[in-house]
């Protein structure tokens, strides 16, 4: 039985690591695209040569021709400029919109039945742009953000409580930025809400660190931004879809009435299966939580208005 083909657009740190994570999980064969001459071919070859050591049979090829990404069941868009210290995700809108608009148009033509996972920042705005340009059903254009933000929240909780990360399930909604909405009531340690385990002051500190999680790494790296955790988050999403696991994960999707929001892409819990987003789950939010989610979505809408559609 032929392995699924997975395209990765952009062979920088995020794209390269996404390819590695997916190959090591043997999710499929990977086509790694970048415009830099020969670079994706070198990275793909290096990853192939890791196979005998790591014990995977996934095949990887690198290319400078986006047409070679045709026929992929899932395409991951990581292409774009990374943040630098002092930059917000919104500072990247104009430059990355030009890149995402171009590759989305080509993906739409060459992979009309594919599911697209967007990673390029500002994530929610680029997801909207990709959906708009491709004309794909909203179930097949999905932004990676909530999985990453929830993973950061989980790690910070485990670090504070000195407990296993495996016992923590976190939930973060909203835009991928300073206005994201971590939900302590829906964040548990072995099923126990952290609101029963930690004082409010500590929870507030963990929420703030989660919102600043990407900027913290950017500041430490000095050049570039996070890639290990984003790549792991993409791989989890792709696995849930290709294996039809139907995992409930927070992802950025186009909303049409859910949570009282329409015409905007934002992070909400969804069921990810073989057809992409198979269900949007609407949590019972408090008035304050709903207000925060709408404020986060308003920030995304402002960015969308900035796009030249």
**Active site residues per annotation:** 176
Token digits of residue 173: 């909604």
Give the integer Cα–Cα distance in Å for 38 and 27: 24
Give the integer Cα–Cα distance in Å for 150 and 180: 10
Give the integer Cα–Cα distance in Å for 262 and 267: 13
DSSP per residue, 237-261: HHHHHHTT--EEEEEEEEEESGGG-
Do the Cβ atoms of 274 and 247 come closer than 8 Å?
no
Q: What is the three-class DSSP state of 280?
A: strand
Give me the residue label for tokens 């495996």: 166
Cα–Cα nearest to 41, from 2, 74, 11: 11
Q: What is the three-class DSSP state of 270?
A: strand
Burial class (CB in 10 A: 0-12, 13-18, 19+), 302: exposed
For residue 114, the surrounding DSSP H or E stretch is none
For residue 74, the surrounding DSSP H or E stretch is strand 74-77
Give the integer Cα–Cα distance in Å for 255 and 108: 21
Give the integer Cα–Cα distance in Å for 237 and 66: 23
């Amino acid at each position: 039985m032929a392995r699924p083909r997975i395209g990765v657009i952009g062979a920088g740190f995020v794209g390269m690591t996404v390819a590695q994570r997916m190959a090591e999980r043997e999710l499929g064969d990977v086509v790694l695209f970048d415009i830099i001459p020969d670079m994706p071919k070198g990275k793909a070859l290096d990853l192939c040569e890791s196979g005998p050591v790591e014990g995977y049979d996934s095949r990887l090829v690198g290319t400078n021709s986006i047409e070679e990404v045709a026929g992929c069941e899932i395409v991951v868009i990581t292409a774009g400029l990374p943040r630098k210290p002092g930059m917000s995700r919104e500072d990247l809108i104009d430059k990355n919109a030009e890149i995402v608009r171009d590759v989305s148009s080509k993906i739409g033509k060459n992979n009309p039945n594919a599911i697209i996972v967007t990673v390029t920042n500002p994530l929610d705005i680029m997801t909207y742009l990709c959906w708009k340009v491709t004309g794909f059903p909203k179930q097949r254009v999905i932004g990676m953000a909530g999985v990453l933000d929830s993973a950061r929240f989980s790690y910070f909780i485990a670090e504070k409580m000195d407990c296993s990360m495996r016992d923590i399930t976190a939930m973060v909604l909203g835009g991928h930025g300073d206005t994201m909405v971590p939900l302590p009531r829906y964040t548990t340690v072995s099923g126990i809400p952290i609101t029963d385990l930690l004082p409010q002051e500590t929870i507030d500190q963990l929420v703030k660190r989660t919102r600043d999680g990407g900027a913290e790494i950017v500041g430490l790296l000095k050049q570039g931004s996070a890639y290990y955790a984003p790549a792991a988050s993409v791989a989890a999403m792709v696995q849930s879809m290709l294996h039809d696991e139907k995992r409930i994960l927070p992802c950025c999707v186009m909303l049409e009435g859910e949570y009282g929001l329409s015409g905007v892409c934002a992070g909400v819990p969804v069921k990810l299966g073989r057809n992409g987003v198979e269900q949007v789950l609407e949590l019972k939010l408090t008035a304050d939580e709903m207000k925060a989610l709408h404020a986060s979505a308003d920030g995304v809408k402002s960015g969308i208005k900035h796009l030249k559609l």
